[in-house]
Amino acid sequence: MSELLRETKETTVACAVSRGAGAADVDVSDRFLAHMVDTLARYASLDVRLRAAGDLRHHLVEDVAITMGLALRDEVPHRAARYGWAVVPMDDALVEAAVDVGGRPWYAGRLPSKLYTHFLHSLAINLGATVHVRVIRGSDRHHMVEAAIKAVGLALRQALAEGDTVFSTKGSVKVERQGSTG
């Protein structure tokens, strides 16, 4: 289990993440954010413990995504399946997500909520994953955002599955820090 505490003048976020059964224990003041973290945990099959407080909703949502991404980065198996893809229908909404946890951070996609587009962008970049999200159709903002979180979660579940080999033509990538960062 990867546990992080991230503190700024604006927020305090304590987050523990591990691959598991999809259990979430979330304590944040923003009920929709709590719902989306719980949903992501369940669909990605991640166990998440999250405590977060912040001054503004934007700061809280962004810093939770940053911290979760950093914590989840430590949980990517050496022999991860690496890729995942899902399409999720939710009433009027239909959303597709594709994920690569191979260490190349990128986010592409737009939701009908700038805040949750930013959430997924911050999660992807800090996880070191490529994440593409496409809203195919929908009229209810809540349904489109929730379907996107579910699709990303299902794609992550596939990508994080442990395989029997390193899934890259490069083989293992090894990076060592040299000297002091002072």
pLDDT score recorded for residue 165: 67
35 CB-side CA count, 13 A: 9
Contact 73, 47 (CB under 8 A): no
d(CA 157, CA 50): 19
pLDDT-derived band at 181 (thresholds 50, 70, 90) equals: low
As a whole number, the mean pLDDT across the chain is 94
State which amino acid sits at residue 149: I
pLDDT score recorded for residue 161: 96
**Is it the case that residue 175 has pLDDT exceeding 60?**
no
Lowest-pLDDT range, 88-97, 116-125, 156-165, 173-182? 173-182
pLDDT tens digits, 100-142: 999 999 999 999 999 999 999 999 999 999 999 999 999 999 9
pLDDT score recorded for residue 96: 98
pTM as predicted: 0.92
Q: Which has more confidence, 180 or 76?
A: 76
**CATH architecture type of domain 2-160:** 2-Layer Sandwich (3.30)
pLDDT score recorded for residue 166: 64
pLDDT score recorded for residue 163: 80
pLDDT score recorded for residue 168: 64
pLDDT tens digits, 17-44: 999 999 999 999 999 999 999 999 999 9
**To which H or E segment does residue 7 belong?**
strand 2-7
**Is it the case that residue 173 has pLDDT exceeding 60?**
no
Give the domain ranges of the chain: 2-160
The 10 Å CB-count burial string (b at 16+, else e) for 110-149 is ebbbebbbbbbbbbbbbbbbbbbbebeebeeeebbbbbbb
**From start to end of 91-165, where are the E strands?**
93-100, 106-108, 130-137
